[in-house]
Amino acid sequence: MGMRKEMKKYFILSGLDLNDNNRGTAALGYGAFSFLQEKGFLHEGQELLIIKYVRNPLKIGSVVEDISIQGKVWKKRTVYLFSMHKRLYRKYNIILPFLSLARLCKKIDFVATINGGDGLSDIYDTDMFLGRLPETFFAMRMNIPVIQLPQTIGPFSIAQNYELVSKILRYSKAVFVRDRKFVDELDKIGVKYEVTKDLSAYMQPEPWDIEIHPNSVGINVSGLCYSNTFRSLSGQFEEYPSLINRLIEHFQKKGIHVYLIPHSYHYGEPEESNDDMVACEAAYNRLAIKDKVIFVNKNLTSPQVKYVISQMSFFIGTRMHANFAAIYTGVPVFGLAYSYKFEGAFNANGLDAGRQTVKINDISSNDISKIINKIESFYQENQRK
């Protein structure tokens, strides 16, 4: 898979942002390079291409810089094109062969799509779904191969979105999925696929200076759930703050150190409805007794967050990629799930979602004790191993 007669100079990684506020999304970027090399798509000497459009013709040109990915250096070339190119192909579907965009496209080997790990879905809303597809639409217009990197596909609440994704998947040169939640639909629409690990599995932890107490428990507190105001999921997590509070106190009473670990956050300018740092701080401040609770209040990279999680003896995560950090470093993990991607991802990685996850959408105050008992049961099971 992935072998070709000609190695073209450039490749595009749609959704790549190594500094994304969501450390899980950033982790996908780190892992994408190793994954593409392993699958035979990406080769030494190829350059990461970024295309930007400018209105001032005097700013047309390119800038090349080095980026380091887990000890390996790649060239990143940012090409600035006159905005007329974008207007012609988007509005009129016109690609003039003598213009620089057409010549550049002939040198692009593929567009590989990250999509945030779960972006081929309208679970959050249609605007967010469509907002991750511009490079895919560009590749389809320019007849450039598309590679769907490992992700969860679906679910879809709007038929039009399902039909659009079906068209994209049929066009794609290769489709990788990280679970089996959508494979029946892939079979139905006639798309070949490969089930593989999440891209974050290919990102190595990066040690840094932090004291980790023996036998500690890590808890990732999700800003999405704690704020209870995020897009189409708004209003589904009224009891989540109470669940987190009682969960922390549960392990405190056992004399265990608890680390509150944010995984999606902007350290300087938080997004109030979706920021884990804000949620972790709120959870920490809510505690009547803060003994043995460590709030990891630091601007960390994805590999550094993965390192902290890797040092826990047990981990409880609401962000799927925080759970992946535990899964791929061998830490016993329990997922507080808010979508069906949790079940598929846990089972696909050899875990038992029935025992290691619980759905937290629309829980009542009476459900909290049951959830904590289920977590404690799994915790004790792993203590005996």
Does an H or E element contain 321, and which? helix 320-327
The CA distances from residue 148 to 15, 24, 116, 193, 344, in Å, are 12, 17, 11, 9, 18
Residues 57 and 185 occupy one common structural domain: yes
What are residue 136's phi and psi, to 5 degrees?
A: -65, -45
pLDDT in the model for residue 2:
47
> CA angle at residue 224 from 223 to 228, to 5 degrees?
105
Place of tokens 């998947």: 169
Q: Final residue of a domain: which of 176, 202, 228?
A: 202
pLDDT in the model for residue 94:
67
Residues 123 and 192 occupy one common structural domain: yes
pLDDT in the model for residue 150:
96
Residues 180 and 249 occupy one common structural domain: no
Can you spell out the DSSP letters for 133-151? -HHHHHHHHHT--EEEEEE
SS3 of residue 114 by DSSP: coil
pLDDT in the model for residue 89:
72
pLDDT in the model for residue 82:
84
Residue 77: count other Cβ atoms within 10 Å of its Cβ: 15
Total tally of structural domains belonging to the chain: 2
Domain CATH number, residue 227 = 3.40.50.2000
In sequence order, what are the residues at sequence separation of 6 or more whose Cβ sits closer than 8 angstroms to the Cβ of residue 365?
Answer: 239, 242
Structure tokens at 291: 């003994």
End-to-end CA distance of the chain: 40
Residues 368 and 314 occupy one common structural domain: yes
pLDDT in the model for residue 92:
66
The CA distances from residue 214 to 218, 280, 314, in Å, are 12, 21, 11
CB 224 within 8 A of CB 361: no
d(CA 29, CA 14): 9
d(CA 173, CA 315): 37
Residues 171 and 124 occupy one common structural domain: yes
CA proximity to 375, closest of 321, 332, 346? 332
Return averaged pLDDT per consecutive 10 residues of the chain, 385 residues in all.
69 95 94 97 96 89 94 95 78 67 92 92 92 93 95 94 98 96 95 96 96 98 96 95 98 98 94 93 97 97 97 97 97 95 93 97 98 98 83
Q: Residue 234 gets which letter from DSSP?
A: T
Q: In this structure, is residue 1 part of a structural domain?
A: no
pLDDT in the model for residue 9:
97
Structure tokens at 213: 């107490």
Q: Residue 47 gets which letter from DSSP?
A: E
Residues 115 and 178 occupy one common structural domain: yes
Q: In this structure, is residue 336 part of a structural domain?
A: yes
pLDDT in tens, 235-272: 999 999 999 999 999 999 999 999 999 999 999 889 88
Q: In this structure, is residue 208 part of a structural domain?
A: no
Range of the domain at 131: 10-202
Q: In this structure, is residue 331 part of a structural domain?
A: yes
pLDDT in the model for residue 1:
47
Q: How far is CA 230 from the centre of its chain?
A: 17
Residues 194 and 221 occupy one common structural domain: no
pLDDT in the model for residue 3:
46
Q: In this structure, is residue 330 part of a structural domain?
A: yes
CA proximity to 225, closest of 170, 268, 280? 280
Residues 91 and 193 occupy one common structural domain: yes
Place of tokens 């010549």: 103
pLDDT in the model for residue 5:
56
